[in-house]
Amino acid sequence: MRIVDVRERTVPISRYATRDVGRGGLDTTAVAVVTDVRRDGEPVVGFGFSSIGRFGQGGLIRERFAPRLVAAGEELASASGDNIDPFRAWDRVMRGEKPGGHGERCVAVGTLDMALWDAAAKIAGQPLHAFLADATGSRSSGAPVPVYAGGGYYFGADDTARLTDEVRGFLDRGHTHVKIKIGGLPLAEDLERIEAVLSLLPGADHLAVDAMNRYDPDQAVRAAHAMAPYGLRWFEDICDPLDFATHARIAELYPPPLAAGEALLSAADARNLARYGGLRADRDVLVFDPAHCYGLPGYLRIVRVMESAGWDRRAFQPHGGHLFSLHVAAALGLGGSEANPHNFQPFGGFADDAVVDGGRVRPPEAPGIGFETRSGLITLFRSLLRP
């Protein structure tokens, strides 16, 4: 059991479903990890990508980490010898890496890790949620996972009208909870956006807002005071992710739930958030991205750190809005997952035939992550294998 080739390509993605709004230069890296295992005469290939929001990682993957995987040979085999062991593969990829200096290194490793789990679950003939549950001693029933629809980015024109149309579309698809962006306009205009969306929802606890780490300390305080009366589902990424003092200050004066973790990329970051960020385990939400945190081995370390600090797994709602995070939430018994119904295509969203029922969706039962259940995405992945 070995990896014989790794292919990668960095491709553009957009926050918007319509072409009249620029994509903002965003991209992500898609990878294909080719094993020496064959099924129906073809090699088993694991696919992955750099999730959403951190840009592509082609250079680090190509020059630093993929060669380690290919050179590892039989070191990657499971103890039984009948599969690739993603944990052993992760150890091999990280061999010789110094502590700290996470930068974008963690995303490059997480990209390859996603593909390794896809390959291993395919070899085992299991959907990832079941394979991962077995590998970690968790319990996955394959039950529907609570999801919320992410979106609500700023439109260049007719912003409020287009925002409310977008939210209506989420509700028509079966979503019950949504998240929109704030922090990019004057606070009064953001409050107008919030109120426009609240007029479409049954209650304020169905709307979360994401400031995308834009606020300085004083702006964060003003926003917290202004939004506290709404009682929103959560207020996410309020300031610089490493400004734990501001996090703690807002937690003292803002009673409704906060959310943090998307831009924290290691177990050490999570430990500092737990120690110094002032977050409340009885209400706040943790939105770490499994692919951005050195992949599943790194994410599992974060889960253990936060559990040791008194957090329940149901506080975790992984960022990403795609199939990988959905499987992780199902396998580990997390509180839910993000959904990107039309953003960041073809990577955002779930199976082409997925049904969102009452704000919940099942992960696909296809072997692996199930990228094959998304026609546009699997076409892109398979193009990596062409000569």
Catalytic residues: 181, 319
Rounded-to-integer distance, Cα 45 and Cα 359, Å:
32
CB 151 within 8 A of CB 342: yes
Radius of gyration of the chain (CA): 20
What are phi and psi for residue 266, nearest 5 degrees?
-155, 165
The set of residues, in sequence order, having a beta carbon less than 8 Å from that of 189 and lying 6+ positions away, is none
The region that residue 275 occupies, defined by phi over 0 for left and psi between -120 and 50 for alpha, beta otherwise, is alpha
Rounded-to-integer distance, Cα 87 and Cα 219, Å:
42
Rounded-to-integer distance, Cα 145 and Cα 125, Å:
22
What distance separates the 2 farthest-apart alpha carbons in the chain?
62
CB atoms within 10 A of CB 82: 11
